[in-house]
Amino acid sequence: MILLTNYEGRCGVYKTVELLKNKVNAIRAIIEGIKLVEANPEIHTVGANSLPNLLGQLELDSAVMDGNTRRSGAVGALKGFKHPVEIAYHVMTDLEHEILVGAGAERFAKEIGAEKYINEMENTKTAWHEFLDSVLTEEQKQIFPNIRLLDVKAKPKDPDPLFDTTVYLAQDYSGRIATATSTSGWPWKYPGRLGDSPIIGAGSYADSRYGACACTHTGEMTIRAGTARSVVLYLKMGLTLSEAVHEAVMDLVDLKTGFTNAVTIHAIDNKGHYKVVALNPNKEVKYLIWHPDLDEPKIKLAEIITT
């Protein structure tokens, strides 16, 4: 058994470890951990009280994947529900589809009885108003939101490194490997933007025969490189976990435009090995690891790759 998460997922780790120890399958174990992150208003990158899009709306993304069947479920640009990861799970179990977005995802959430929630809290509103005040002209402020959003000045060109998706990767007692992700996405994003988190093969991928991978930070880059699937494919080709992650990093480095700085790859293989690397971060990148040889989850630092 093994559990690997990034530091944003810390508040749910003990719950997931408890469930894994009690032989709950990896999918349900990681979902229950992520639900605690989604409900925690102290974490501003996932679920309640996160930072919104340009219109002040929290659009949430999430995905789950079962490495035994390679079935997945994902939701994108979801508004007004407490646990996107649970809704993503039901996309996988209740539909023949793999991803739902926007109004369709919200209709589905209502039909399965998902818990509704107002995720925009005081911090969300305050931070959004302060951001708008710093970037809008006086004329734009008078008529907002009836402006051309493309004209918003000083929009962020590189995502703030403080903000990250929550990713969980686990292998349970039976050998099943699973992944789950949840995020509020790039702060101040253009409405409707999807990053890599709900895109299976980019932000996460699980295959119990080989391993799993999940990525954080600028999803546009890992979408372009198909990073999560690439790591697993490199494992299938016979590379070690370290070699597989290295090749995926080189694929990212070869991209000619965009922001690869701080993109972080989290990976496990089916033998219980793990690897976390971060590209050119401007601060240390933490993650948590647990396996049966550890009394409790341990915080570690990602390997830094400078390009």
Widest distance between CA atoms in the chain: 61
Among residues 45, 165, 179, 264, the one annotated as catalytic is: 165
Q: What is the 3-state secondary structure (H, E, C) of 274-293?
A: EEEEEECCCCCCEEEEECCC
Q: Specify whether 165 is catalytic.
A: yes
**Residue bearing tokens 């080709």:** 237
Q: Residues with catalytic annotation?
A: 165
